[in-house]
Amino acid sequence: MTSPTTQQVPGAAARGSLPRTLLTALAPLTWGTVYVVTTELLPPGHPLFAGLVRALPAGLIALAFTRTMPSGAWWGKATVLGVLNIGLLFPLLFVAAERLPGGVAGTLAAAQPLIVVVLAVALLRQRLSAWHLLWGVVGLAGVGLVVIGPSAAFDTVGVVAGLGSAATMALGVTLTKRWGRPAGATPTTFAGWQLTAGGLFLLPLTCFVEGPPPPIGPAAALGYLWLGLAGGLISFVLWFRGIAALPVTSVAVLVLLSPLVATMLGAVLLAQTFGPVPLVGFGLSLATIVAGQLPAPTRPDRGA
């Protein structure tokens, strides 16, 4: 159950709308650019610093702009959500990316919609939906066809980290839906709390693991600016706004857009190969995203 201070979403809003869905989709579309920005603009060997720069400045800017801090139980809730949605997610993604081919890591991350379907039963008291389970499997297979190449290799630690990132974000999304947003907190405020909490969690981890920050030239500065502004503040404001207004399973499948965008950018900007099999995967992934926005079909009443 949500707390008394949580804003309740009207039933019509919960069913979602095309404009709100399209706005929410901008977040994973933006996240799909992170791979190209990281590999082409940022100094290598400092993935945690990149995550820190992506989170903490954006969170502090949002707090300075809204001038609203959590109160009561929301200090703890905002911290938990910030650690799950940002602080733990980023390191797990980086470990998976370093130890696995990008395609394998992207496919593991695409397991998130399946995990959300299960968590929605446990945490949101929703019925287990065979419709969303089926399309979750189809979406996972579609992303796999798009991004996994014939030379894909598997590493145990990398696989655990990849699945951990999917589970962490799925839990964060589901708890965000369960707890809602406190009265008087705008989506920008809500995003600011979580970005700041996640950034503060990453700060000591980054200092301990990576040490001093790398030299930052013009290209890296542009990359960090993009990660913090578009990939951090703006995208998470849209993401948390969408979670509040749309069914959680509908939001979860939008994450499939990230590996699709990353693959398209790799083909266009980095001259990476793109054959007929990935095209089939694209079709399956897009079908999953569309199906995830539709209500599950109901069985006809045979007794009528």
- 304: in domain: no
- 117: in domain: yes
Least confident span in 115-119, 189-193, 259-263: 259-263
In DSSP terms, 182 is beta-bridged to 6
* Cα dihedral 81→262→26→93 (10° resolution): 0
3-state secondary structure at position 6: strand
pLDDT tens across 126-183, in order?
887 777 778 778 777 777 766 665 555 566 777 788 788 888 989 999 999 999 999 8
Spell out a b/e string for 246-267, using b for 16 or more CB atoms within 10 Å of the CB, else e: bbbbbbbbbbbbbbbbbbbbbe
Instruction: Judge whether residue 6 has pLDDT over 60.
Output: no
The pTM of this model reads 0.82
What pLDDT is recorded for position 13?
41
* Cα dihedral 219→222→228→232 (10° resolution): -90
- 176: in domain: yes
3-state secondary structure at position 182: strand
Instruction: Judge whether residue 301 has pLDDT over 90.
Output: no
CA distance 103 to 98: 12
- 270: in domain: yes
Closest CA to 9 of 281, 243, 285: 243
CA distance 224 to 32: 15
- 8: in domain: no
245: enclosing H helix or E strand: helix 235-245
CA distance 120 to 177: 9
Question: CB of 32 within 8 A of CB of 262?
Answer: yes
Residue 256: DSSP 8-state: G
- 1: in domain: no
pLDDT tens across 25-84, in order?
999 889 888 777 877 888 887 888 988 999 999 999 999 999 999 999 999 999 999 999
* Token pair 């650019």 in the structure block, residue: 33
Amino acid at the residue 178:
R
- 70: in domain: yes
Instruction: Judge whether residue 222 has pLDDT over 80.
Output: yes
3-state secondary structure at position 45: coil
What pLDDT is recorded for position 234?
94
Query: Which residues have C-beta within 8 Å of that of residue 236, sequence separation ≥ 6?
Result: 27, 58, 85, 86, 191, 194, 195
Residue 146: domain span: 14-292
Structure tokens at 159: 């696989």
- 248: in domain: yes
What pLDDT is recorded for position 104?
59
Q: What share of the chain is helix, strand, coil (3-state, %, to 5)?
A: 75, 0, 25
What pLDDT is recorded for position 175?
94
CA distance 46 to 60: 22
Structural domain count, the chain: 1
Question: CB of 151 within 8 A of CB of 89?
Answer: no
CA distance 3 to 23: 27
Mean pLDDT to the nearest integer, 271-284: 70
Query: Which residues have C-beta within 8 Å of that of residue 196, sequence separation ≥ 6?
Result: 55, 56, 59, 60, 62, 63, 82
